[in-house]
Amino acid sequence: MKHYLYPDATADSAYLVPYRALYERGYRGIIYDIDNTLVPHGAPADERAIKLFKELKEIGYKMVLLSNNKEPRVKSFNDQVGAEYIFKAGKPGISGYLKAMEMMGTDTSNTFFVGDQLFTDVWGAKRAGIRSYLVKQIDKKEEIQIVLKRRLEWIVLLSYRRYVKRNGHEWPGI
């Protein structure tokens, strides 16, 4: 059974994903959400984000920021980390994910997504056919509509944890 709301893997932080190991397994492109994935909602890129993107480029990754936010927010973050970006992406629609892969010259077999929300980030990535990493949100302070979605996500995540425990694995198994 395909679980469109289940991430392929989880990490406590976007900064703790095993990027080098994934690169060794053939992954070449990473699509990122920004807010509450890399920095708190609305925050500029910090030293940690800038350092991460520099290291990922040195490894050989290409990256695209995929955000439902408006261009000024996404562009200002991107100017600091030096990736490519898509604003007003319409997640969980798949067109932004497909465009991101086209921009990086990657495909569904060598691209993965890192984000903090099930109903936009993970669901969109799964619908587009790419692997997804769900990371814990950085900041608990969020807009009311996101807070309400988080309550529903909690139910799905409870089911997901049972699924992983029952099946004894979580991608990428590293």
Residue 4 within any structural domain of the chain: no
Model confidence pLDDT, tens digit, residues 55-94: 999 999 999 999 999 999 999 999 999 999 999 999 999 9
Residue 73 within any structural domain of the chain: yes
pTM: 0.83
How many other CB atoms sit within 10 Å of the CB of residue 93? 15
Residue 105 within any structural domain of the chain: yes
Residue 172 within any structural domain of the chain: no
Domain CATH code at residue 14 = 3.40.50.1000
The pLDDT of residue 97: 97
Model confidence pLDDT, tens digit, residues 2-51: 576 778 888 999 999 999 999 999 999 999 999 999 999 889 999 999 99
Statement: residue 143 has pLDDT above 90: no
Count of structural domains, the chain: 1
Q: Please check whether residue 115 is in contact with residue 33, taking contact to mean a CB–CB distance below 8 angstroms.
A: yes
Distance CA 68, CA 87 (A): 6
